[in-house]
Structure 1
């Protein structure tokens, strides 16, 4: 392939621009905020699950407390009715009186036991409420942390993307004056050679792979016509000869 020396030199300008775009893309992908957001998202998700579980436990405890208080109220009401019957003097049979008094005593013990259960449930409910409040506060804080990290990332995106847009415009201007066949070869080599499709020959070296050429190899390159598109034998990149290449 042949191309005017000036067009070949423009490849170096294009390569510098493309390398800048690659650096910006890498910088965009490698922002520390990405790791912060991943961690904050994981923490936020875990805390949401914990809050849901704690709220479920609090709700279960509340239902348990309602039932236990209902049980106490039933025993208390029954004991009150029995006491009223006892106090009324309507029961005259000694055996019936004994049975009623025994039942009142049993109900008092049952009420005491149930009230102990109520107190234990109330303690667990308080613990559950405290945990919900604590986890909800942590969840709220994690939401703030996540949003702040996302805001920093978006701000960095805006800065990088703004710079990339300017560099892209420069690329379009340079690429527009490079022959299509030369541009196609350069793009193909960029894809296969780690983003570098053209490299300068400088001080006997290919600046793409850092290979140093022998005098014989340099003489062979020098013998090529100026418009010949020379390729590095080691890395296959376009080897651009400039005024300071020494060939």
Structure 2
């Protein structure tokens, strides 16, 4: 059988009861294939990290928040412009009322209708109406200026909105293109993973996945020049002797990081 376990006894202390350590046995070729599996999973992890940290993603978020804030500004500006427009209509109506009254009084005065006292009162009212008309026209001018300012502000904000929408769309396009490229690479990289898993064997893969889950994604590494490829630490003479004397089909692990160490011709044993 290519993958199997055997148990060895070792004493926890000179006086204590022995502990039992189960040693996984696997054909050396199957162990070597773990490096291929690790290379695939490492690249897939890198792709997943790249997708999660795309620079376009926060840029899109910031642009969308800016657009949302701008939409609020536009609503407020339109509301203010509408209020001033209604104020302008009322102001114009007030001026027209005064003009109409002044015109009627002037017509009566020109026709000489009424007594001298009535005509004198009409003249006095015309003077008052002229003063009131001037005040209302000045107020109307001020309202017109505010209306023009607010209308221009709305136009500027709407023009800014068009630019910002285009910017959001461009950023989203860049993000989607980058995600599509990474997704395509992930499909290519992972296409042979199932075959490698089948070749490695269920029990060894189970150990590999368990270690991966607890060691930041790396579970198998080459023992190269007496260094563990996982934690990069150089092995001491005791550990090297243990590994050197271990059968070729024994799955050995680093005493420091507990990752599976794959022995090759470059291990330096």
User: TM-score, with normalisation over the residues of structure 1?
Assistant: 0.95
Higher helix proportion (structure 1 or 2) = 1
| Structure 1 ranges of 4+ moved more than 6 A | none
Match of 1:26 in 2: 49
| Residue of structure 1 equivalent to 2:117 | 95
Equivalent residue number for residue 15 of structure 1 = 38
> SS at 2:261's partner residue?
strand
CA distance in 2, matches of 1:216, 1:158: 50
Give the structure 2 partner of residue 49 of structure 1.
72
Higher relative contact order, structure no. (Cα contacts within 8 Å, ≥ 6 residues apart): 1
In the alignment, the residues of structure 1 paired with residue 121 and residue 221 of structure 2 have an alpha-carbon distance, to the nearest angstrom, of: 108
Instruction: Tell me how far apart the structure 2 counterparts of residues 145 and 53 of structure 1 sit (CA, whole Å).
Output: 23
Deviations 1:187-241 (A, max 9, x none): 1111110110111111111010011111221011111122111111101111111
Q: 1:81 aligns to what? A: 104
Q: Which has the higher strand share?
A: 2
Q: When the two structures are aligned, how many residues end up with a matched partner?
A: 246
CA contact (8 A) 2:221 2:228 kept: yes
State the distance in 2 between where 1:111 and 1:236 align. Answer: 94
What is the DSSP-based 3-state SS (H/G/I as helix, E as strand, rest coil) of the residue aligned with 1:2? strand
Q: Distance in 2 between matches of 1:170 and 1:47?
A: 49
Aligned position for 1:154: 176
| Pairs within 5 Å for 1:150-229 | 150-229=172-251
**Cα offset, 1:161, TM superposition:** 0.6
User: Could you tell me how far 1:153 is from its partner in structure 2?
Assistant: 0.9
8 Å contact 2:38–2:220 — kept in the other structure?
yes
Show CA shifts across 1:130-183 (max 9, x none).
111111111100111110011111111111111111111122221122211111
Provide the rounded CA distance (Å) in 2 between the counterparts of 1:24 and 1:240. 25
Confirm or deny that 1:64 pairs with 2:71. Answer: no
What do you get for the CA RMSD once the two structures are aligned? 1.3
Give the Cα separation in 2 of the matches to 1:172 and 1:66.
76
> C-alpha separation between the residues in 2 aligned to 1:203 and 1:90?
123
Partner of 1:2: 25
Are the aligned partners of 2:113 and 2:119 in contact in 1 as well (CA < 8 Å)? Answer: no
Report the CA distance between 1:121 and its aligned residue.
0.7
